[in-house]
Copies of this chain bind each other. A is one copy, B any other.
Amino acid sequence: MKAILVIADGMADRPLKELEGRTPLEAAVKPTMNRIAEKGMCGIVDPISPGTPPGSDTATLAFLGYSPMEVYSGRGALEAVGSGVEVLPGDVAFRCNFASVDKDLTVLDRRAGRISNEDASRLTRSLQRIKLKKSFDASFMFKNTVQHRATLIIRGPKLSTAVSDSDPEENGKGVLEIKPLDGRPESVHTAAIVSELMSEFQRVLAEHPVNKERARRKQSPANFVLCRGAGTIPNITPLPELYNIESACIAAVSLIKGVCKVAGMDLVNVKGATGTPQTDYMAKAKATVQALKTHDFVLLHVKATDVASHDGNARLKMDIIGKIDGMLNYVLKNIDLSATHLALTADHTTSCATRNHEGDPVPIAVCGPYVRRDSVREYSERTCAEGGLNRIRGIDLMRILMNFLGRTKKFGS
């Protein structure tokens, strides 16, 4: 027995005026999703708890069976892991941006004119050569990812995540001083390391040939590195150890890849998977079918629904739901339905009206040979609420699926 968990990011929504009180999911054409609901058992899920707007990271941790309230330790380290940087327990990770600042350290452009990957890579190679003072007893890794985005890892004994951001998160504001957020020596120490590093980065970037070229091309200089969101990797037992399974993750965005990597899942890179509405849906569907041949559990994540919701674009969201439906149709046609459970859900509600993550529950449908089919025949926020799964928490799902796979231990005798 195997299982697939499909998470459509922010697919759940609230009733929208422009859709005459329907949600995009209710209004979309989604015959495959409806078939999953009809063949399966349905319900609603609070990814974290009722009324709490989840992040994609905390919700995915919960869906993989981890208590986010206990293990979540910030986005920085997860995103770093997801972008291929090694982060060890104890390392402190930051999310960074190449930025343009003036001589008073006022931020002119938080994205340094959305600097190209090539320019960012050349700058990064120079920054990587900087040496930290020996007295710090620490090392650092710096890696650019996409455009202006980068990751900074500090490694050493006795570090702390209790340090403030330098990123003011808005153009026109001054760069913030990195300060310890509590009085512990570790926090003071970590803040000193990062401050020193930021000055060294600034020194190297000021005279860098890439910035001189950018000036000639009338492009914003990448003369500062802003950092934010100090975090560590969650201290969790990986899935293979918990359930004795091989598991794989098919996702485009670093944050989800990071969560899955930390959970001990294999990351499958899919050409054409971009995390945007233009992603190659069928390539991801094919990768899912392939991954299931060699793994017991596959998580398939699609970001596009959330992107459309944050833009308040209900019509685009409906189109994307249609494409995800096609993707699911391919998956269902190419797997052994007598030996696979498939769960379809969203990691949170993203309202096209508020354009934010919201705390409303999300629909879920699980089909497969062991489920108790209910009378729900349509996959949507409202119809699933009438299903046999009733209302569960995100953290409950993994154990339900692993039990279908015969991988949960009896508690008691």
Contacts and interface: CB of A to CB of B under 8 A. Distances in A.
Interface stretch (A43-51, A142-150, A209-217): A43-51
A135 interface: no
A53 B413 CA distance: 10
A357 B373 CA distance: 20
Nearest to A401: B51
A52 B374 contact: no
A353 B404 CA distance: 12
A295 interface: no
B372 A403 contact: no
A411 B75 CA distance: 11
A268 to B, nearest CB: 24
A360 interface: yes
A406 B354 contact: yes
B412 A51 contact: no
A15 interface: yes
A32 B351 CA distance: 29
Given A372-B382, A410-B357, A400 B50 contact: yes
Interface string A43-65: 01000111111111111000000
Contacts of A356: 406, 410
Given A385-B374, A390-B44, A68 B358 contact: no
Interface pairs A-B: 9 shortest CB-CB: A55-B412, A51-B399, A58-B412, A390-B391, A359-B403, A50-B396, A51-B400, A385-B388, A55-B413
Interface of A: 14-15, 21, 23, 44, 48-59, 68-69, 72, 75, 229, 255, 351, 353-354, 356-360, 369-375, 381-382, 385-392, 396, 398-403, 406, 408-413
